[in-house]
Amino acid sequence: MTVLVPKESQRLHRLISFYEGPWRLTGEQGADAACVWCGRLSGPDGVDLDSISGRSCSACYLARILWLITWYDWHQHVLGCTPCQQRRTCYVGRGRRVRHELTIMPAGKRPPFCESCHCPVEADEPAMPVRWEGDSHDRLGYGHRRCVTRRAVSR
Ligand SMILES: [Zn+2]
Ligand SMILES: [Zn+2]
Ligand SMILES: [Zn+2]
C-alpha cells in the first residue's frame, strides 16, 4: 500500500492543478506567498500547484481533494451500475452523491447545475456526474439523469 498511496495522491494532485486552473493571480499569490483560493498565507504546509505558479493552503487543498475523490467515486459507481444507468433507485449511488454534495461548499464550488439543460440540479432530482468537454479542457460536472441518459441514447 505504501507504493499505491503516493501514486494515487500524485494523480489527484495533477487533477487539481489541471481542473482548478487557470486563476488570475494577484501579486502576492503569484509570488507564492498566499493561497490561490482563500488568499491567506499558505504557510509551510502549503502545497505547490504544478500547472500554475501558485500555492494552496492545506485546508483549501484538502477541500478540493475531497471534492475530486468523491466526484470520481460517484462517477465510477454510476458507470458500472446497472440500476443507476437504467434510472432505477440505487442507494449506493445516492449515498455517493450525498457524500460528494457535502464537499461542494467547502471546496468553494457553486451549486450543481445540469451541463445539458443548464438548470440547477436540485437535491431531490435524479442526477449523474458527467465529464464535459470544455473549450480548453474537460470539466467535471453534473447532469439531470433524464437529460444525460437521453443524450446517451441518441448518440
Ligand atoms: Zn486557502
Ligand atoms: Zn448505482
Ligand atoms: Zn438537465
Residues 30-61: tens digit of each pLDDT: 555 788 888 888 778 888 887 666 788 999 99
**What separation in Å is there between the alpha carbon of 148 and the centre of ligand 3?**
7
- 150 pLDDT band (50/70/90 cuts)? low
What are the grid coordinates assigned to 145, written together?
A: 439523469
**What separation in Å is there between the alpha carbon of 14 and the centre of ligand 1?**
18
Q: Which domain holds residue 111?
A: 66-154
Angle between helices 4-19 and 58-80 (to 10 degrees): 100
Q: What tens digit of pLDDT does each residue of 64-115 get? A: 999 999 999 999 999 999 999 888 899 999 999 999 999 999 998 989 999 9
- Looking at per-residue pLDDT, the higher value among 149 and 73 belongs to 73
Looking at residue 112, what DSSP letter applies? P
pLDDT at residue number 82: 93
Of 69, 43, 55, 62, residue with least CA distance to 106: 62
Shared domain check, 37 and 93: no
Number of domains in the chain: 2
Shared domain check, 78 and 49: no
Q: Considering every ligand atom shown, identify the ligand nearest to the alpha carbon of residue 60 and give its number.
A: 1
pLDDT at residue number 112: 94
**What separation in Å is there between the alpha carbon of 101 and the centre of ligand 3?**
17
Look at the alpha carbons of 140, 145, 151, 152 in this order and tell me if their dihedral is positive or negative: positive
